[in-house]
Amino acid sequence: MKSQETIPTSKVARASQFVKATVKVGGNYIKHYSKKLVDPNLPKEALHEANAKDVYDALSNLKGSALKMAQMMSMDKNILPRAYTDKFSMSQYSAPPLSAPLVMKTFKTHFGVSPTQMFDEFAWEAENAASIGQVHRATKDGKTLAVKIQYPGVADSISSDLRMARPLAVQLLNLNDAEIDRYFSEVEGKLLEEADYELELARSIEITQACRHIPNLYFPSYYPEYSCKRIITMDWIEGQHLKEFLLTNPTQEIRDKIGQALWDFYNFQIHDLKQVHADPHPGNFLFSPEGGLGIIDFGCIKVIPEHFYTHYFALINRDILADDPAMDAIFRELEFILPEDTPDQQVFFHGLFKQMIEILGRPFANTTFHFGDDSYVDEVYAFFEYVANVPELKSASAARGSQHGLYVNRTYFGLYTLLNDLKANIRTTKPKWLMSKSELAEQVEI
């Protein structure tokens, strides 16, 4: 892939990229509807493909929060047509890399030396490049290392990029103004954290040490002495990305082994650590033929407030699911039902979000769950496609649901999608306080 010599860093230069993408998309629509006058049955696939290419080309040149949006949208298979998700998924680990001079400049700025002076060997060509930074292979004292280098200007452009991307996001994500404001506020905070590599380094060390007891997981070690606010150095760990791994046709035993490690990893973080690796896209994982799961990026961590955790996860308790008044009280705490709602609105939203909890909580209703059943994941995405078009939500003047649910929900969507891709059959577990009386009785009998 051709390397990128420069990244637009000024507000004017970056804004021009968004304008260029918007103009091209507008031109694609004019061409499509001109052709449609001749052929009324003309499908939209070609339009989507043209728009996806033009939008991705603009975002990939900007890097940072703009490209991160593409990465996040590629995970939401129900929100965008397939042409967009296929193109945007490239941002997960195959964006255009920075050229060697830009890499050199970053090292000189932060360490005062070139990477070849710091390491015994340093590969100038990036092994992979994603939304916030790119990774190079290096060696030091006999160890093979991965050096992640943040793109210049990423941290300083996050807030302005999101403001400029807002109109495009409103159109592509089909959200109303109230939802997009809540969404952008939470995303901005997380992206600012992701751009702080010193914070990522501390969290990486903390979480990997806490999770090392989980079977079949492996993590890199981190090197603070070769890291700074814009560069992180860690062990190079081997493994395949998901698509490559699945092409090897792994056995069901291996699929289940990795799927269980993935489930246990997230279950432990959420219920024990109360903070979670909230970016479960395939580019953050490496898969070994023996059934090991490597985890290589802890930039996006959602700390789960106690109040939100207590109420959100109480909803998967069978006793709560059978108790409408209790569920109604939790919905109010989580802002699914608002004080200004009319009685009819309260009934409508209670039913809508109860259905959501039933669908998302289904894996917790049994001791095992087979994510290889495509019908379940299809049902999840179909439900949220339906929700995205509910008139009562689209026309609402206020967002529904605590902002803390944004990344927790995304985590579960990403987890369920990965487990579905693996076709894994896993054992589910949950803390005793989330179990119903019947579940506790079953445990005693066992």
2 burial class (0-12, 13-18, 19+ CB within 10 angstroms)? exposed
Q: Using one digit for the tens of pLDDT, what is the confidence trace for 114-145?
A: 999 999 999 998 888 767 788 999 999 999 99
Return the structure tokens found at 249: 């046709």
Within a domain: 345: yes
Q: Are residues 172 and 298 in the same domain?
A: no
Beta-bridge partner residues of 4: 98
Within a domain: 201: no
For 230-384, strand residue ranges (E) read: 231-235, 275-277, 285-287, 293-295, 301-303, 368-370
Q: Are residues 268 and 175 in the same domain?
A: no
Within a domain: 227: no
Q: Are residues 171 and 304 in the same domain?
A: no
Within a domain: 214: no
Q: Whose CA is closest to 328, among 355, 342, 349, 310? A: 349
Counted domains in the chain: 2
**137 contacts: CB under 8 Å, gap ≥ 6:** 122, 123, 127, 144, 145, 146, 147, 236
Q: Are residues 172 and 255 in the same domain?
A: no
Q: Are residues 389 and 249 in the same domain?
A: yes
Per-residue DSSP letter, 363 = G
**pLDDT score of 328:** 94
d(CA 15, CA 1): 25
Average pLDDT score over the chain: 82
- Tell me the percentage of the chain whose pLDDT exceeds 90: 45
**Residue with token string 């079953």:** 442
- pLDDT tier for residue 180 given thresholds of 50, 70 and 90: low
For 127-230, strand residue ranges (E) read: 128-129, 133-140, 143-150, 217-218
**pLDDT score of 68:** 60
Q: Are residues 276 and 333 in the same domain?
A: yes
Within a domain: 109: no
d(CA 273, CA 211): 10
Q: Are residues 356 and 424 in the same domain?
A: yes
**Residue with token string 């608002």:** 338
**pLDDT score of 91:** 46
**pLDDT score of 74:** 44
Q: Using one digit for the tens of pLDDT, what is the confidence trace for 313-358?
A: 999 888 888 899 999 999 999 999 999 899 999 999 999 999 999 9
Within a domain: 43: yes
**pLDDT score of 59:** 65
Per-residue DSSP letter, 270 = I
CA dihedral 398, 411, 246, 93 (to 10 degrees): 80
Q: How many CB atoms lie within 10 A of CB 56?
A: 22
Q: How many CA atoms lie within 13 A of 302 on its CB side?
A: 26
Q: Using one digit for the tens of pLDDT, what is the confidence trace for 31-74?
A: 666 666 666 776 677 766 776 677 766 666 666 555 565 555 54
Q: What is the C-alpha end-to-end distance of the chain, expressed in Å?
A: 56
CA dihedral 424, 426, 430, 432 (to 10 degrees): 170
For 153-207, strand residue ranges (E) read: none
Q: Are residues 302 and 372 in the same domain?
A: yes
Looking at residues 204-232, what average pLDDT do you find? 96
pLDDT at 2 over 80: no
Looking at residues 258-281, what average pLDDT do you find? 94
d(CA 433, CA 440): 9
Task: Considering only residues 3 and 250, tell me which one the structure prediction assigns the higher pLDDT.
Answer: 250
Q: Are residues 174 and 273 in the same domain?
A: no
d(CA 208, CA 421): 25
Q: Are residues 392 and 287 in the same domain?
A: yes
Residue 72, domain extent: 11-93+155-191
Q: Whose CA is closest to 341, among 358, 357, 328, 354? A: 328
Beta-bridge partner residues of 287: 240, 293
Q: Are residues 380 and 309 in the same domain?
A: yes
d(CA 268, CA 275): 9
| Residues 162 and 156 sit within 8 Å (Cβ to Cβ) | no
- pLDDT tier for residue 77 given thresholds of 50, 70 and 90: very low
pLDDT at 195 over 60: yes
**pLDDT score of 178:** 62
Of the three residues 169, 191, 213, the one that is the final residue of a domain is 191
**Residue with token string 């009319």:** 342
Cα–Cα distances in angstroms (integers) from residue 265 to residues 211, 295, 333, 411, in the given order: 7, 10, 28, 12
Handedness of CA 241, 65, 385, 343 (dihedral sign): positive
Q: Using one digit for the tens of pLDDT, what is the confidence trace for 361-403?
A: 899 888 899 999 889 988 887 887 788 778 877 666 677 888 8
> Which amino acid makes up residue 137?
R
d(CA 68, CA 407): 14
d(CA 278, CA 275): 9
422 burial class (0-12, 13-18, 19+ CB within 10 angstroms)? buried
Q: Are residues 183 and 330 in the same domain?
A: no
Return the structure tokens found at 6: 């420069």
Within a domain: 36: yes
Within a domain: 199: no
